[in-house]
Amino acid sequence: MATLKVDVDPARDFVLGNTDAPVTLVEYGDYECPHCERAQPIVEAVRDAMGDDLRVVFRAFPLAQMHPHAQHAAEAAQSAGVQGKFW
Protein backbone atom coordinates (compact mmCIF):
# COMPACT_ATOMS: atom_id res chain seq x y z
CA MET A 1 0.00 0.00 0.00
CA ALA A 2 1.26 3.48 -0.84
CA THR A 3 1.97 6.09 1.79
CA LEU A 4 0.92 9.71 1.38
CA LYS A 5 3.85 12.05 0.75
CA VAL A 6 1.92 14.94 2.29
CA ASP A 7 -0.16 13.97 5.30
CA VAL A 8 -3.82 14.90 5.41
CA ASP A 9 -4.34 17.95 7.59
CA PRO A 10 -8.00 18.85 8.28
CA ALA A 11 -6.87 22.41 9.06
CA ARG A 12 -5.59 22.74 5.47
CA ASP A 13 -7.38 20.06 3.43
CA PHE A 14 -11.04 19.53 2.65
CA VAL A 15 -11.82 16.05 3.94
CA LEU A 16 -14.97 14.04 3.31
CA GLY A 17 -15.74 10.64 4.76
CA ASN A 18 -14.56 8.38 7.53
CA THR A 19 -11.38 9.76 9.10
CA ASP A 20 -10.32 6.18 9.89
CA ALA A 21 -10.99 4.85 6.37
CA PRO A 22 -8.38 2.38 5.12
CA VAL A 23 -8.22 4.14 1.72
CA THR A 24 -7.60 7.84 1.08
CA LEU A 25 -8.17 9.43 -2.31
CA VAL A 26 -6.40 12.78 -2.67
CA GLU A 27 -7.74 14.80 -5.58
CA TYR A 28 -5.91 17.86 -6.87
CA GLY A 29 -8.24 20.01 -8.93
CA ASP A 30 -8.71 23.25 -10.79
CA TYR A 31 -12.23 24.68 -10.64
CA GLU A 32 -12.12 25.70 -14.32
CA CYS A 33 -10.50 22.54 -15.69
CA PRO A 34 -12.79 20.53 -17.99
CA HIS A 35 -10.85 17.33 -17.21
CA CYS A 36 -11.37 17.84 -13.48
CA GLU A 37 -15.06 18.40 -14.15
CA ARG A 38 -15.30 15.13 -16.08
CA ALA A 39 -13.55 13.28 -13.25
CA GLN A 40 -16.09 14.41 -10.64
CA PRO A 41 -18.80 11.81 -11.42
CA ILE A 42 -16.14 9.09 -11.33
CA VAL A 43 -14.95 10.22 -7.89
CA GLU A 44 -18.56 10.28 -6.69
CA ALA A 45 -19.15 6.74 -8.01
CA VAL A 46 -16.03 5.49 -6.24
CA ARG A 47 -17.20 7.21 -3.05
CA ASP A 48 -20.62 5.58 -3.33
CA ALA A 49 -19.11 2.15 -4.02
CA MET A 50 -16.57 2.27 -1.19
CA GLY A 51 -18.68 3.94 1.48
CA ASP A 52 -16.94 4.17 4.85
CA ASP A 53 -13.81 2.51 3.45
CA LEU A 54 -12.88 5.71 1.61
CA ARG A 55 -11.80 9.14 2.75
CA VAL A 56 -11.71 11.82 0.03
CA VAL A 57 -9.35 14.77 0.29
CA PHE A 58 -9.53 17.72 -2.09
CA ARG A 59 -6.66 20.11 -2.64
CA ALA A 60 -6.97 23.07 -4.98
CA PHE A 61 -4.43 23.17 -7.77
CA PRO A 62 -5.37 26.25 -9.82
CA LEU A 63 -3.79 26.33 -13.26
CA ALA A 64 -3.93 30.10 -13.51
CA GLN A 65 -1.81 30.26 -16.66
CA MET A 66 -4.57 28.37 -18.52
CA HIS A 67 -7.66 29.27 -16.51
CA PRO A 68 -7.81 32.97 -15.62
CA HIS A 69 -10.40 32.58 -12.85
CA ALA A 70 -9.02 29.42 -11.27
CA GLN A 71 -7.16 31.18 -8.46
CA HIS A 72 -10.19 33.28 -7.52
CA ALA A 73 -12.38 30.17 -7.55
CA ALA A 74 -9.90 28.35 -5.29
CA GLU A 75 -9.89 31.29 -2.88
CA ALA A 76 -13.70 31.36 -2.84
CA ALA A 77 -13.78 27.62 -2.13
CA GLN A 78 -11.25 28.08 0.66
CA SER A 79 -13.46 30.78 2.18
CA ALA A 80 -16.45 28.44 2.00
CA GLY A 81 -14.38 25.72 3.63
CA VAL A 82 -13.38 27.95 6.52
CA GLN A 83 -17.12 28.38 7.16
CA GLY A 84 -17.70 24.62 7.01
CA LYS A 85 -19.50 24.90 3.65
CA PHE A 86 -17.02 23.35 1.21
CA TRP A 87 -18.80 20.03 0.67
pLDDT of residue 57: 97
- Mean of pLDDT over the chain: 93
The pTM assigned to this predicted structure is: 0.86
Using alpha carbons only, give the angle 33, 34, 36 rounded to the nearest 5 degrees.
65
Distance, CA of 31 to chain centre? 11
Confidence of residue 6 (pLDDT cuts 50, 70, 90): confident
Confidence of residue 16 (pLDDT cuts 50, 70, 90): very high
- Return the domain boundaries, the chain: 14-82
| Domain 14-82 = CATH 2.120.10.30 | no
Whether 73 shows a pLDDT value over 90: the answer reads: yes
